[in-house]
Amino acid sequence: MITITPTMNFASDNWAGAHPAISQRLLEASTGFSAPYGTSALDRKIEQRFNELFEREVAVYFVSTGTAANSLALAAVNRPGGVSFCHREAHMLEDECGAPEFFTHGARLAPVDGEDGKIDPNHLIAEIGRFPPNFVHVGQPMAISITQATEIGTLYKPDEIAAIAEIAKTYGLPLHMDGARFANALVALELTPAEMTWKRGVDIVSFGGTKNGCWCAEALVFMNPELGKDLPFIRKRAAQLFSKSRFIACQFDAYLQDGLWLHLARHANAMAERLREGIVSSKRAKLAWHPEANEVFCILDKAHADELQKKGAVFYQWNPPRVGPGLLAQHEVLIRLVTSFATEADQIDQFLELLG
């Protein structure tokens, strides 16, 4: 059993609970009868809200987890012998227990290298090039997936998204964005949802709300509804169609209202910036790389990291990236610090003081 420390918790943004405005909306929505399986008026209202959000008619499907969103995105564009290209450190490759392969009946995830947690376009072209058209022995390319913000807290700049999208277009591949931390990226880049997605060539988005203040609110969004036309059956068959769908819808209702979601993400990012500043000033720790959203990775002596945890700071000692020059000197470890809507400045100051 894991003991929970009330303060200095930087383990992950999914350790936070739910924002009161969202919990409150859940409470209010709990009475009365409502059509199930995503057919209620509230469901329809949220679908419309997503259209406005993305400034076009999109197709939106609620699912229970980010892993479901990513997996069903690939299932929607599945091909026999298919290969999807993602960064070597991508969540779908490293942390989803093979769900994307399972839901695609074995389509493969091909790791692509790149600095700062981002796919390098040249490496991507080289990897796709390993699949000559119609050469059945190797399989066939099927999709490209990027993560925004990335697993290591960095961001694809608009031009970088467009560069990947250009390759996707050249090879006729749909481009998926894993947006488990979509809001954190959006506010950091000061873009609109449209600008960060389809205006740069993104076709499908895993739109995450859970890590940014919802209980459980994940949506799979197709910029072109036709691309997701099989999703109703795919989702139901995947056991991801909630009967009381309104309990997801009402979370998004509160989340997206009056910019709450952006406000929460800005707070989380600001807390990460406060951490970053403290670490830059620290004599006993250094940044592993420049944080751009709500995750800060830093390097310190393992003994010191152990000591911090002993004193109540909650965080993970992290595997260093698989590619690139060795980051760590002997005795050093990499730690990951994640902030969320629930992180308080006091927690950070307390931690930074301990960090020294």
Site residues for a second copy, 39-68, by CB under 8 A, read 39-41, 44, 63-68
**212 within 8 A of 265, measured Cβ to Cβ:** yes
Task: Return the range that interacts with a second copy (CB under 8 A); candidates 71-79, 157-165, 183-191, 278-286.
Answer: 71-79
Task: Return the range that interacts with a second copy (CB under 8 A); candidates 50-58, 92-100, 154-162, 163-171.
Answer: 92-100
> How distant, in Å, are the alpha carbons of 106, 266, 282, 291, 292 from that of 355?
45, 24, 7, 18, 21
281 binds a second copy (CB under 8 A): no
How far apart are the C-alpha atoms of 140 and 107, rounded to whole Å? Answer: 9
- Residue bearing tokens 């299932």: 75
Residue 281 CB, shortest distance to a second copy, in Å, is: 26
Q: Amino acid identity of 1?
A: M
Task: Return the range that interacts with a second copy (CB under 8 A); candidates 27-35, 159-167, 220-228, 291-299.
Answer: 27-35
- Closest to a second copy by CB, 79 vs 302, is 79
- Closest to a second copy by CB, 121 vs 232, is 232
**12 within 8 A of 181, measured Cβ to Cβ:** no
How far apart are the C-alpha atoms of 273 and 131, rounded to whole Å? Answer: 42
Task: Return the range that interacts with a second copy (CB under 8 A); candidates 19-27, 280-288, 302-310, 327-335.
Answer: 19-27
Site residues for a second copy, 232-261, by CB under 8 A, read 232-244, 246-247
329 binds a second copy (CB under 8 A): no
310 binds a second copy (CB under 8 A): no
169 binds a second copy (CB under 8 A): no
83 binds a second copy (CB under 8 A): yes
Taking CB under 8 A as the criterion, the residue among 94, 195, 307, 349 binding a second copy is: 94
- The site that binds a second copy (CB under 8 A) totals a number of residues, namely 93
Site residues for a second copy, 176-215, by CB under 8 A, read 210-211, 215
How far apart are the C-alpha atoms of 135 and 141, rounded to whole Å? Answer: 11
Residue 110 CB, shortest distance to a second copy, in Å, is: 10
How far is CA 158 from its chain centroid? Answer: 17
DSSP secondary structure, 128-178, as one string: HTTS-TT-TTT-EEEEEEEESS-TTS----HHHHHHHHHHHHHTT--EEEE
How far apart are the C-alpha atoms of 44 and 46, rounded to whole Å? Answer: 5
Taking CB under 8 A as the criterion, the residue among 49, 56, 79, 123 binding a second copy is: 79
Q: What is the DSSP letter of 243?
A: T
12 binds a second copy (CB under 8 A): yes
